[in-house]
Structure 1
Amino acid sequence: MSILEVNSVKKIYTTRFGGNQVQALSNVSFSVEEGEYVAIMGESGSGKTTLLNILAALDKPTNGEVVLDGKSINNIKEKEISAFRRDNLGFVFQDFNLLDTFSIKDNIFLPLVLARKEYGEMKERLHPIAKKLGISDILEKYPYEVSGGQKQRAAVARALITKPKLILADEPTGALDSRATDGLLKLFKEINKEGQTILMVTHSTKAASHASRVLFIKDGEVFHQLYRGKNSNEEMYQKISDTLTLIATGGMKNE
């Protein structure tokens, strides 16, 4: 069953000066199945960020439609967008987006506080997630007191605690060293095996090689895709590298 459907999405921006039009997305269509782990790759300027903003309900398409769990994001009223985002989506960002004046625990609690959940329920939800992510011992610390890898695990906990239908990850390994990157990718794989749907935008071939499917965006549309099948991470890494080379050199036709 598809949890996310992106149907013929187009996005055109009009520049403030001169009124020139820039087409960021020309015709993007794909779907994500419930429990799938999908990576989106593409060169800078390919439209990845614009697409992510539309999927996150931070921007609206010029044409086309995005449907999450059977509900069209396009039709949600402005005053309901924040609640919809909070109830359905979990976010993991490259720069963590943690508040330095809040403890790790309070950072994780933040979306539940905004949703006006009872403190008892928040504690109940936190314990198993913190244990799974290996951050139980840093919950009372502040972001500036912990490592980059621990910050990203806290960000993942904050994304998971709302029980989202879809996790959107934007370059989640971009600010991490290789050891923390390995830890985060292993973690993503584990939470995906437990049924969590993940959509990750990344420049990292290594990060993308852990996904079950990789979509390549070029010139504002889905240009090609790779399925894991029975491939190992190493085999996926090689296939992704070869595909990126072919796309960059113009050696691959649109599929």
Structure 2
Amino acid sequence: MALLEVNHVKKVYTTRFGGARVTALQDVSFAVEEGEYVAVMGESGSGKTTLLNILASLDRPTQGDVLLNGKDLNHIPERSLAAFRRRHLGFVFQDFNLLDSFSLQDNIFLPLVLSGKKYEEMNERLQPIARELGITELLAKYPYEVSGGQKQRAAIARAIITEPALILADEPTGALDSKSSDDLLDVFARLNANGQTIIMVTHSTAAASRAGRVLFIKDGMVYDQLYRGSAGNDEMYARIASVQTRLAVGGGRHE
């Protein structure tokens, strides 16, 4: 059984005062196996952010269902959703979402604090993660005292410290320079090599070329997908660029 199953998901928004209905997702179906690294690409307005919000249980589909480890997210009561997200999902955001009044360590600890974990357990989990991410010497610093790349490493630490089944990353390289972006993608590659399942929404062809599979969203539907297979990053980059060209000119799907 797949770790994540998305079955015929449709999302329709009603504009304020009920004046119009906007279909953000039309009929989206795909599955993600445990240990996969999937990038989701699409132009602004394609529906990829709506899809990510539904996968994150921050929004519910109008039709269809999303199953994580066989559990239908639609059937989780609203009062239980926050706890479900803390236990099963890790989030990495473009703007880091770190609290400036908390040290990096306290930011990383936050989901465990909310889950009622004791300091000894939190610290035991943190130390190997901090060493892996190269932020051990930064843990006492505050977000405004470190670089964007260091903030993102702290955000990754916060995402993985709960040992989530799935990491959801929303434009994680969007606020970083090229060196920090490369470093971040190296971290994702190592996490994935160790078995972590990752879904990353990105506009960056370079970022997507590091994934094992790329889903392309257009007009609220899965337009195409690419599997890495034996391709290197450069070949994957070229293949992604080719699909993006077809997307831009309105060409048909790859057969």
TM-score, structure 1 as length reference: 0.99
Matches within 5 A, 1:72-221: 72-221=72-221
Match of 2:66 in 1: 66
Give, in angstroms, the shift of residue 250 of structure 1: 1.2
Amino acid aligned to 2:55: L
Give, in angstroms, the shift of residue 254 of structure 1: 7.4
Once the two structures are superposed, residues 174-193 of structure 1 have per-residue CA deviations (whole angstroms, 9 ceiling, x without a partner) of: 00000000000001000000
Match of 2:48 in 1: 48
* 1: CA distance, partners of 2:211 / 2:11: 26
Alignment partner of 2:17: what SS? coil
* 1: CA distance, partners of 2:33 / 2:244: 24
* 1: CA distance, partners of 2:173 / 2:222: 23
* 2: CA distance, partners of 1:42 / 1:8: 19
Give, in angstroms, the shift of residue 16 of structure 1: 0.9
* 2: CA distance, partners of 1:113 / 1:253: 47
TM-score, structure 2 as length reference: 0.99
Alignment partner of 1:101: what SS? coil
Give, in angstroms, the shift of residue 19 of structure 1: 2.5
Match of 2:234 in 1: 234
Identity of aligned pairs, percent?
A: 69
Alignment partner of 1:164: what SS? coil
Once the two structures are superposed, residues 12-35 of structure 1 have per-residue CA deviations (whole angstroms, 9 ceiling, x without a partner) of: 001113521000000000000000
Give, in angstroms, the shift of residue 252 of structure 1: 2.1
Once the two structures are superposed, residues 180-216 of structure 1 have per-residue CA deviations (whole angstroms, 9 ceiling, x without a partner) of: 0000000100000000000000000000000000000
* 1: CA distance, partners of 2:34 / 2:97: 27
* 2: CA distance, partners of 1:253 / 1:123: 49
Are residue 31 (structure 1) and residue 19 (structure 2) matched?
A: no
Alignment partner of 2:200: what SS? strand
* 1: CA distance, partners of 2:217 / 2:187: 26
Amino acid aligned to 1:33: E
Alignment partner of 1:128: what SS? helix
Alignment partner of 1:80: what SS? helix
Amino acid aligned to 1:226: L
Once the two structures are superposed, residues 43-83 of structure 1 have per-residue CA deviations (whole angstroms, 9 ceiling, x without a partner) of: 00000010000000000000000000110000000100000
Amino acid aligned to 2:166: L
* 2: CA distance, partners of 1:96 / 1:180: 13
Once the two structures are superposed, residues 84-115 of structure 1 have per-residue CA deviations (whole angstroms, 9 ceiling, x without a partner) of: 01100000000000000000000000000000
Alignment partner of 1:60: what SS? coil
Amino acid aligned to 1:199: I
* 2: CA distance, partners of 1:219 / 1:207: 22
* 2: CA distance, partners of 1:27 / 1:54: 13
Q: Segments of 4+ in structure 1 off by > 4 A? A: none
Amino acid aligned to 1:235: E
